Structure 1
Amino acid sequence: MIKGVTGKILWVDLTHGTCSEEAVPEKVYENYLAGVGLAAYYLYQRIPAGADALGPDNILAFVPGLLTGTGSLMTGRWLAAAKSPLTGTWGDANCGGTLSPAIKQCGYDGIFFSGISPKPVYLYVDHAHAELRDASELWGMDSRETENRIKSQSPRKGIHVACIGGAGEKCSLIAGIVNDQGRMAARSGLGAVMGSKKLKAVALSGSHPIPVADPAEMKRLSGRFLKFARFQPPFLNGYGMRLLGVLMRIMPLAMRQDGMLYKVLLKKWGTVSMNEFSIETGDAPLRNSGGSDVDFNPRMHAPINPDRFSLREEMKYHCYSCPVGCGGICKLDSKGGETHKPEYETVLALGGLLMNTDLDSLFIMNEKLNRAGMDSISAGGTLAFAIECFENGILTLEDTGGLELRWGNTDAILALLDLMIARQGLGAVLADGSKLAAERIGRDSERFAVHSGGQEPAMHDARNDPGFGLHYAVEPTPGRHTIGSILYYEMFQLWSRVKGVPRPSWRFYPKSQKYRPSRENAAMAAANSQFKMIMDGAGLCLFGAFIGVQRIPIFEWLNAATGWKKTPEEYMEIGRRVQTLRQAFNARQGADLLHKMNDRILGRPPLLDGANGGRSVPLEKLVPQYWRAMGWDEKTGQPPVEDLQAF
């Protein structure tokens, strides 16, 4: 048996209340790694075509990465996967925290749930057995209460819990799965899948070791990488970050980015380091993607200066095996309490997207969403949709229950968010995201529903980096920002280790180059997709990958863990195989392979002013070239028959 994996998965039949083990053939790891690849292999085979995402035929997977627990660094990510009830496509959600090693320490490379329980339950697994336990008393508790109650009732220490809050229980299609009281597998609506199955939580307390093929080499590789992870020179303050954003905006040329700079920012501030920088450069969509940095000016975004978050940070938060520690535990408000530091996505989704300038409200909404288990990106996008509907007379005070839904009206935003979490009043209309809300409201409201394939895009504007727009449209999970962009490709620096991928020739280049529907840009996007599947198969954090593959030895770690001698090119082929399998899943389910999205995302029509003024994304020309680079039919996106036969 190869090293680095347990060689088996746990199947939980919720309908009959049984647990059983299944051995995983070695060739599955060879062809798909673990993590997302393992999930795709089993879900493609065992979820029938046309399955109801909230029905018993859907299967929910919890999978750690192949490298998790092997002595490698920044490889503690886990993934939830199922057919998405939000988009009807392949759905997955990536998360940090401490759950990933706990799954492997229980002796499994994945836990798969089928069926629907007749009553609320949670799964308990330790090093010796697995069982379903009654969760009736937990049903109705938020995620913090649930985790605390499960831990307090167990005689064992070191229990790791993933659970749903009220949003998942009410099957909100923008519900996520929470662990460590604030780390969330938020996207694709997979919290609703847990809720539909009456699965409240997963509690893990194993002690199995995770052997590796070459421990000495693993230690050497990790020691070498640790020097880069710990490198932390003095850098700008928060105000300086805003000025840097202004400089990047007015420069006539784009500059190829090195991810070591972003690592320095992450270690100092976390993802909020990019708040004002991204507004100034045009990376952050504003006012429901209909505004610009001219509308959300420096006076308005000064409250989200990253230094303001540092003042409230009580301690750093590190995910498993991470030496960077971009997270934090912060003071909630003047009344006391604590919350995980809001991430960049949360700050901009509940701030600039709504023209909200109240810093305290961002911390409060972050904690409300973490407790409820609701995706902050989709929640912010849906609130922005509701505000614009009200501003244009589509929603009235009668519809809103008297709430004046105006841009920046913090009190109304907070009140409407509470209604969404509770599925009450207008909140019941909005609780499943902006696409379904627009269908329920009608009256031409769909023009204000900014989504791709049913999912609200993240706080990275495709008009600033067209690579995001392409991936929002073509990825098997629509609207996702964690797969690829031109910026990501520059930071991954794949050309330094992988033969045959495009190699940028200049440090500085015309900004217009990003908007060319060239074969090179499409090939970079395809390489991003393939590499991200390797990352999600290994459990590598995206932020670790940004440091660059010439520094973070993912390919060498995989070989040292397993005993393989694969080349980077062979691993990239595995990535292509996993991506193809996810695409084949969508084709089998009858989902659109090119996701429909709101024209605003693509700059149609272009903004008149601001950082992205006059810019649009040439999507129709990029898509066929991306599909060709992936080896799929360039007109339809359908994988070739010979590829499908391999599954």
Structure 2
Amino acid sequence: QGLFEYGTLGGMHGNAARNMIPVKNYTTSTWTIDEEKWKKFGAEYIRETFPGRRNSCWACQIHHCDMITITEGPYAGEELEEPEYEQFASWASAIGQEDVASAMMLSKEVDQLGLENNEGGWVVGFAMECFERGLLTFGDTGGLDLSWGNAEGARLLLNLIAKRQGLGDVLADGVMRAAQAIGNGATDFAIHTLKGNTPRSHDHRNRWTEMFDTCVSNTSTLETWGGPIALGGTPPWNDLVAQNLRDKGAMMLEDSMVTCRFNTNMNVALLSRAVGAATGWDFSEAEGWQAGRRIVHLLRAFNVRHGVAGRALDRPSARYGSIPDAGSGKGVTLVAHWEEILDMYYRGMGWDEAGKPLPETLKTFELDNVVADLWGDA
């Protein structure tokens, strides 16, 4: 009912209760915010305060993506698409910004600039921590005040990034490369996988299924759902890997069919029936799983060939894999078992110990033509 009525607007309060919202570039797992300001990030307040009109996809019954108008604060009168959870997390807790209307403004700004909200939030949060630590000065920022929570500073910085001007030219390359360019220990608190992609706007230190999948994914974001709700936030590592292997392929099949996650919910049996109905093929559920997993192996082969996958890269940065100060992950880290995790995962996928698909695996998934690219005449 919550998703049906409000889309993902309940995500801020729901994820905060489990210490899963990103707070100030992972400097903490608890957002300390005035109670009245916090209420304004709730679904009911947003719907009651910011009038909108339905803007759903064709035939979709889920009530989200409304076109709304900001009615309070310095950005009153601006019209925009109602932000989803990840936009609110990116432009509120992730950068220490406590005004709901300002988060809406920043979400709109990112969309209009053609940037991506999750990566944008991580880049701005990283820059703000650099500014706090003195690694970036007013001279570096061109006079911009990048103190935590400065919405107007974030807006101006996003425009510099989009235009590759000043500091924006460095940050436009993403968190990992920006940290390497800034130096002076900046890599110690940059949040990314060692392939360079950033997570969704959650605190994955209390959501291990997503941290693991983001690190081994071949798509730069989630590749496999992995049961975060069923398993809990920080399950035993071997259960986590086993669940990921069982679910592998469902999300890729769904993405290739261009259906909405909220509606088809990675239901491979249903998706396979839809393929059959649309094409007239006798397309079984087993063939649906085979097709989804074939996509995963092909993506992996492509990435291995181009040097953006493998054991050295399928892991989190120091801050991304750090120990949180609150939540179910307090005092522990998944990274302690990372080598065992990769061993189990690679074996289960039919890859070698470096994370490279084996010839027999590629042939099993009808990718014989790829074998020569990775293995020569094997």
Q: Match for 1:538 among 244, 252, 257? A: 257
| Partner Cα distance (1:621, 1:299) in 2 | 45
**1:465 equivalent in alignment to 2:226:** no
| Partner Cα distance (2:224, 2:64) in 1 | 19
Tell me which residue corresponds to 2:339. Answer: 620
Instruction: Report the CA distance shift for 1:517/1:487 in structure 2 as closer, same or farther (over 3 A).
Output: closer
| Partner Cα distance (1:600, 1:295) in 2 | 20
Tell me the alpha carbon deviations over residues 596-629 of structure 1, each in whole angstroms, 9 at most, x when there is no partner: 4322322x3x223355422321333222222222
Tell me which residue corresponds to 1:443. Answer: 184
Tell me which residue corresponds to 1:4. Answer: none
Q: Match for 2:38 among 295, 301, 316? A: 301
Matched letter for residue 628 of structure 1: R
Task: Say if 2:64 and 2:82, in contact at 8 Å, map to a contact too.
Answer: no
Tell me which residue corresponds to 1:199. Answer: none
Q: Match for 1:317 among 31, 50, 55? A: 55
How far residue 397 of structure 1 moved from its aligned partner, in angstroms, is 1.7
Tell me which residue corresponds to 2:288. Answer: 571
Mapping of residues 277-292 of structure 1, within 5 Å: 277-292=14-29
Instruction: Report the CA distance shift for 1:569/1:484 in structure 2 as closer, same or farther (over 3 A).
Output: same
Tell me which residue corresponds to 2:357. Answer: 639
**1:562 equivalent in alignment to 2:303:** no
Task: Say if 1:285 and 1:352, in contact at 8 Å, map to a contact too.
Answer: yes
Task: Say if 2:69 and 2:78, in contact at 8 Å, map to a contact too.
Answer: yes
Mapping of residues 481-520 of structure 1, within 5 Å: 481=222, 483-487=224-228, 490=230, 514-518=234-238, 520=239
Matched letter for residue 563 of structure 1: G
| Partner Cα distance (2:104, 2:93) in 1 | 14
| Partner Cα distance (1:282, 1:626) in 2 | 27
Instruction: Report the CA distance shift for 1:615/1:357 in structure 2 as closer, same or farther (over 3 A).
Output: same
Mapping of residues 212-361 of structure 1, within 5 Å: 264-293=1-30, 295-296=32-33, 298=35, 301-310=38-47, 311-333=49-71, 335-361=76-102
Matched letter for residue 613 of structure 1: K
Task: Say if 2:170 and 2:181, in contact at 8 Å, map to a contact too.
Answer: yes
Instruction: Report the CA distance shift for 1:347/1:316 in structure 2 as closer, same or farther (over 3 A).
Output: same
Q: Match for 1:456 among 189, 195, 198? A: 198
Q: Match for 1:422 among 133, 148, 163? A: 163
User: So what's the TM-score if we normalise by structure 1?
Assistant: 0.52
Task: Say if 1:470 and 1:619, in contact at 8 Å, map to a contact too.
Answer: no
Tell me the alpha carbon deviations over residues 513-565 of structure 1, each in whole angstroms, 9 at most, x when there is no partner: x43122x432321233311111012222111233x739x82222222222222
Tell me which residue corresponds to 1:110. Answer: none
How far residue 646 of structure 1 moved from its aligned partner, in angstroms, is 4.4
| Partner Cα distance (2:98, 2:22) in 1 | 15
Instruction: Report the CA distance shift for 1:365/1:564 in structure 2 as closer, same or farther (over 3 A).
Output: same
Aligned residues: 356
Instruction: Report the CA distance shift for 1:614/1:567 in structure 2 as closer, same or farther (over 3 A).
Output: same
**1:364 equivalent in alignment to 2:105:** yes
| Partner Cα distance (2:31, 2:121) in 1 | 21
| Partner Cα distance (2:295, 2:258) in 1 | 14
Where has structure 1 moved over 6 Å in runs of 4 or more? none
How far residue 296 of structure 1 moved from its aligned partner, in angstroms, is 4.9
Task: Say if 1:280 and 1:293, in contact at 8 Å, map to a contact too.
Answer: no
How far residue 382 of structure 1 moved from its aligned partner, in angstroms, is 0.4
Tell me the alpha carbon deviations over residues 362-384 of structure 1, each in whole angstroms, 9 at most, x when there is no partner: 12111211111111111110011
Matched letter for residue 288 of structure 2: Y
Matched letter for residue 298 of structure 2: L
Which structure is higher in helix share? Answer: 2
What is the SS of the residue equivalent to 2:54? strand
| Partner Cα distance (1:319, 1:527) in 2 | 31
What is the SS of the residue equivalent to 1:374? coil
Task: Say if 1:632 and 1:639, in contact at 8 Å, map to a contact too.
Answer: yes
Tell me which residue corresponds to 2:375. Answer: none
| Partner Cα distance (2:307, 2:161) in 1 | 30
How far residue 355 of structure 1 moved from its aligned partner, in angstroms, is 0.9
**1:601 equivalent in alignment to 2:320:** yes
CA RMSD of aligned residues (A): 2.4
| Partner Cα distance (1:387, 1:358) in 2 | 17
| Partner Cα distance (1:304, 1:345) in 2 | 12
**1:592 equivalent in alignment to 2:324:** no
What is the SS of the residue equivalent to 1:467? helix
What is the SS of the residue equivalent to 1:636? coil
Instruction: Report the CA distance shift for 1:369/1:294 in structure 2 as closer, same or farther (over 3 A).
Output: closer
Structure 2 spans left out of the alignment, 5+ residues: 371-378
Matched letter for residue 11 of structure 2: M
How far residue 566 of structure 1 moved from its aligned partner, in angstroms, is 3.1
| Partner Cα distance (1:443, 1:320) in 2 | 51
| Partner Cα distance (1:266, 1:445) in 2 | 38
Instruction: Report the CA distance shift for 1:465/1:609 in structure 2 as closer, same or farther (over 3 A).
Output: closer
How far residue 331 of structure 1 moved from its aligned partner, in angstroms, is 0.6
Instruction: Report the CA distance shift for 1:438/1:416 in structure 2 as closer, same or farther (over 3 A).
Output: same
Structure 1 spans left out of the alignment, 5+ residues: 1-263, 491-508
What is the SS of the residue equivalent to 1:339? strand
Tell me the alpha carbon deviations over residues 120-176 of structure 1, each in whole angstroms, 9 at most, x when there is no partner: xxxxxxxxxxxxxxxxxxxxxxxxxxxxxxxxxxxxxxxxxxxxxxxxxxxxxxxxx
| Partner Cα distance (1:549, 1:596) in 2 | 29
What is the SS of the residue equivalent to 2:157? helix
Larger Rg: 1
| Partner Cα distance (1:537, 1:410) in 2 | 37
User: So what's the TM-score if we normalise by structure 2?
Assistant: 0.86
Structure with higher RCO (Cα < 8 A, 6+ apart): 1
What is the SS of the residue equivalent to 1:330? strand
Matched letter for residue 129 of structure 2: E
| Partner Cα distance (2:307, 2:160) in 1 | 34
Task: Say if 1:460 and 1:481, in contact at 8 Å, map to a contact too.
Answer: no
**1:404 equivalent in alignment to 2:121:** no
Tell me the alpha carbon deviations over residues 410-457 of structure 1, each in whole angstroms, 9 at most, x when there is no partner: 332233223223322222221221112112211111112111221221
